[in-house]
Amino acid sequence: MDCKGKMHNKTVIITGGGKGIGFGVATAFAKEGANLVLTGRTPSTLEKAKDSLEKDYGIKVLTVVADGGDEASAQLVAEKAMEAFGRIDTLVNNAQNSKSGVLLVDHTKEDFDQAIYSGLYATFFYMKACYPYLKESKGSVVNFASGAGIVGKVGQSSYAAAKEGIRGLSRVAAAEWGPDGVRVNIVAPLAMTKSLEQWREAYPALYEKTISDIPLGRFGDPETDIGRVCVFLASEDAAYITGETISLQGGSGRRP
């Protein structure tokens, strides 16, 4: 299928784009005709995603094995994207690792570093690496935060700290980069993925409390809920939106 949607021939970098929410976001962009640069740490996962997206949507996908917590890796991804496609229109910072379920007092420095480097530092490094090219294309950045930081989730201290750091970084970038025509927005997703299914099995009580606080009574879908919002924020439809946090937690407050 050859797609000529609202992102036709534009280039989108998605960190952690080979699986979970990242793959759902990649699918949403692919359906709108974007060429993709997918990063991750597992080559086989990236190649499987590449084959599927290119076959189903007639787009081009570049995969780059990279650790976002390493500044040189982020710079390499930006350079390879420019070599392959000649432009970068959107950066989606999705990848994140953390020790979920570990109470704050039980966190080690290594646990905390894992979340900060894979999330906050990675977002910082990718934004710096892509900025010159986003300035040329008048492009956009979509960074991922989380309700874990916005409302405070038990057992999510390092993850929440990284995500709230990303929100602060994004708001400053929106102010600094706005005059250059580069928009920066934040999405706080809550979607059903394999990782979330594992979390549900490991922490059933916390899962039940979380789902009971969602008015719609369900988690989002990585493509149709999370991905479509990312496409909107990257498109001309959202040309007036920057520095905003879009919370996709199914609404606020407790379900009746």
- Tell whether 119 is covered by a domain: yes
- Tell whether 90 is covered by a domain: yes
Two tokens, residue 173: 């970038």
- Tell whether 6 is covered by a domain: no
What is the arithmetic mean of pLDDT over 172-178? 98
| Angstrom distances, CA of residue 11 to CA of 83, 190, 194, 198 | 12, 25, 27, 32
Domain range for 87 is 11-192+222-248
- Tell whether 238 is covered by a domain: yes
pLDDT in tens, 121-161: 999 999 999 999 999 999 999 999 998 888 888 888 999 99
pLDDT in tens, 92-121: 999 998 887 889 999 999 999 999 999 999
The count of structural domains within the chain is: 1
| Angstrom distances, CA of residue 71 to CA of 78, 141, 169, 192 | 11, 18, 16, 30
> What 3-state class would DSSP assign to 99?
coil
pLDDT over 50 at 253, yes or no: no
Distance CA 76, CA 95 (A): 17
* Signed CA dihedral, 194, 163, 169, 126: sign only: negative
- Tell whether 148 is covered by a domain: yes
Q: What is the pTM of this model?
A: 0.91
pLDDT in tens, 76-96: 999 999 999 999 999 999 999
- Tell whether 213 is covered by a domain: no
- Tell whether 206 is covered by a domain: no
- Tell whether 126 is covered by a domain: yes
CATH number of the domain bearing residue 240: 3.40.50.720
Q: Which residues contact 129 (CB under 8 A, 6 or more apart)?
A: 71, 74, 75, 77, 78
Active site residues: 159
